[in-house]
Structure 1
Amino acid sequence: MDGGIVNTAFVLNNPPADGTEWVELFVREMMSATSTNDARARATIVLESLEKSISASASAEAAQNFHKENMMLKEQIELILRDNIILKRLVAIQHERQKEHKDDRNQEVQQLKQLIAQYQEQLRTLEVNNYSLKMHLQQAQQCNSIPGHFHPDVF
């Protein structure tokens, strides 16, 4: 780069590492300019090189950030999928338990209905027996030939 216009390919392949080196390159190119037009051409080349360097760096950083974010999202998706599988298992287990409890309750309800029917039948039988005994007692009291009330064990 001694005396001639800055070589764009050289600057892009060996870009300055930091802002200070870019300033040094720019100052060196401006000092090497032989005219205003030469200074403009050199400034244009250095600034275009700086722009391309910044753009390449930004693109690389964006790609790296995108890759990191992509990896984080993949990990989150894997965790969510694992959680989803676990939740599906839990729902299936809960469904089976509810089904078993429902079956148990249905059996219990049927047993209770049978017991109610049995008790109702027993109640009817007891009521009929009670009525029959009441009638027999009344008939026995009417047929008693001895007046007055005597203890039944006396006879």
Structure 2
Amino acid sequence: MSALVCGKRSSSSSSIFEELLHAPLPSSKRPRRSASAVAAASAVAAAAAGGGAPSPAAALRLSPGRPSDRCGGNLAHLRALFPEMDQQFLERALEASGNDLDSTIKSLNNLHLESAETNLSSAFIESGSGISPNIQLVTEADGVNNGGAEAVAENPPAVENLPTDGSGWVELFVSEMMNASNMDDARARASRTLEVLERSIITRAGAEALESFHKENLLLKEHAEAMLRENTVLKRAVAIQHERQKEYDQMNQELQHLKQLVSQYQEQVKTLEINNYALSMHLRQAQQSGSIPGRFHPDVF
């Protein structure tokens, strides 16, 4: 595999000094060339112009020997520095950097540092349960240059398998960073993952707010129904109390009327008693004054 990867660069190995010293790089690939590679190329060119011998490191990187031997040495050096990474990943990273050992080491170190920062940030996320290791947010990029970012942009995330807790997102971030081929691919993957995380948080927050609103609406509806029932009971109680009050008022009016009648009857009884007494007195006086023994009035008898 290493011979195949390095064989692609064999046609351009003879012109590497001209590419490093004279040919300007495109704007999209300039950030990938490290300062150490340019310095090494300048040192080799200066040594060649002065008649001296280049340094061993520069000779290892820029010697016009066989490409397979040079690539094999670079891969062996990368495997010694990064034993935990896959050999195919190292080969693609080396090919992406133009077989520049310093640039490849710098890119891999930056990727390793970003992965470490992601692992540190996962300590602040509370986890509920893990996720399946086969969950992938973005498909692996086919290219190792700018094509990595384009591949990430062209492949939409699998929203149906998104993690549901903090530990799942941490595993997803780590997996995406490990599958990244270079720094641009890692940045694109991280950006895409953060966008999906933001959309997931917004969606989940909206769903929770909707569910909370629905529950609150149900509680308010139940409370309103209970208040309506209580209002109906109160209305019936008020109506009954009103009827009783009307009956009481009517009975009170009748009682007052009866009291007035009783007082009138009592006055009439007193008047009649007085009249009866007067008549009895007149009758007694008449009987005493008009009684003549032995003689009767001729008109009467």
User: What's the TM-score once normalised by structure 2's chain length?
Assistant: 0.40
The answer as to whether partners of 1:8 and 1:46 remain within 8 angstroms in 2 is no
Aligned-partner Cα distance in 1 for 2:174–2:157:
19
1:17 aligns to what?
164
CA distance in structure 2 between the partners assigned to 1:123 and 1:52 by the alignment:
104
Partner of 2:199: 52
In the aligned structure 2, how far is the partner of 1:124 from the partner of 1:93? 47
Report deviation, 1:40. Answer: 2.3
Give the count of matched residue pairs: 135
Percent identical:
45
Tell me what 2:234 maps to: 87
Conserved 8 A contact 1:8-1:49: no
Counterpart of 1:64 (choices 185, 204, 211) is 211
| CA distance in structure 1 between the aligned counterparts of 2:255 and 2:276, rounded to whole angstroms | 31
Task: Say whether the 8 Å CA contact 2:140–2:180 is kept in structure 1.
Answer: no
Which one has the bigger helix percentage?
Answer: 1
CA distance in 2, matches of 1:8, 1:123: 115
Q: Which structure's CA Rg is the greater one?
A: 2
Instruction: Measure the CA separation in 2 of the matches of 1:126 and 1:51.
Output: 109
Matches within 5 A, 1:3-152: 3=141, 5=152, 7-10=155-158, 12-126=159-273, 132=278
Q: Which runs of 5+ in 2 are unaligned?
A: 1-138, 142-150, 290-301
User: What is the root-mean-square deviation in Å for CA atoms of aligned residues?
Assistant: 2.6
TM-score, normalising length from structure 1? 0.72
Q: How many Å separate the matches in 2 of 1:121 and 1:9? A: 111
2:149 counterpart of 1:2: no
CA distance in 2, matches of 1:64, 1:74: 15
Q: Which structure ranks higher in relative contact order (CA pairs < 8 Å, sequence separation ≥ 6)? A: 1
